[in-house]
Amino acid sequence: MKLLKIMAFIFALSIPVYFGLKLLSPPEDQQANWDTYEKKDKKITTHKSTKTEKKKSRVSSSKRAPASKAPVKKTIGPSKRILTGSLRSKYENSPWDLSYVNTPSIEWKNLYANKMLTILPEGTKVLIKKTQGVIIITAKGAKYVEHVRVSIQKEDAPPVGFEAQVDSESGQQLKVWNRTHFEYGQGFSFKKKLQ
């Protein structure tokens, strides 16, 4: 009888721990939306990123919570794109008055990866994850843009990562920030030569 009470007590304590850990871990679909593009034998192949590729790229699956809550940004349309740009305040209440410079394409990610891999060496992998859709409003008109995180894995080099804005129609890279920098180039060593 005493053993049964101990087992019931342990079971009662394990339920909140289980659900607490389940709530803290990122959802499966959030981790799975990284795509890998690989250049091999002058061909470019695509697949969902594996855990080992993400681990090698040092891709974190979750970000830490902000210290304070940011103001909620206005989103429009079924795709929940965020309005940004110099003329954003003019169109926040009437987004249907916008004239768009481009139209979103389903193939934007493939176009972007192909453009990157044409200039990178053989055996390189590019991991791409879309974080959000954006509409940039300027005097020329509104432009559909994708905000992405990119990680590049070369065979004999450490992984390099950055965030970028990509045109939703052409796959052209518009802006880059948060680049990974390495202080020392290849061949640099702190070791002294022994004579």
Q: Each residue's pLDDT tens digit in the chain (195 positions)?
A: 788 888 888 878 777 766 665 544 444 444 448 888 888 888 888 888 888 888 877 776 666 666 777 666 666 766 778 888 877 666 666 666 778 899 999 999 999 999 999 988 888 999 999 999 998 888 888 899 999 999 999 888 888 899 999 999 999 999 999 887 665 455 444 444 444
Contact 171, 110 (CB under 8 A): yes
Q: For the purposes of burial, counting CB atoms within 10 Å of the CB of 179, is it exposed (0-12), middle (13-18) or buried (19 or more)?
A: exposed
As a whole number of angstroms, the distance between CA 43 and CA 49 comes to 18
Identify the helix (H) or strand (E) that includes residue 103.
none
Residue 52: count of CB within 10 angstroms of its CB? 8
* Rg of the chain in Å (alpha carbons): 23
HEC string of 48-83 equals: ECCHHHHHHCCCCCCCCCCCCCCCCCCEECCCCEEE
Domain spans of the chain, in order of start? 28-60+72-177
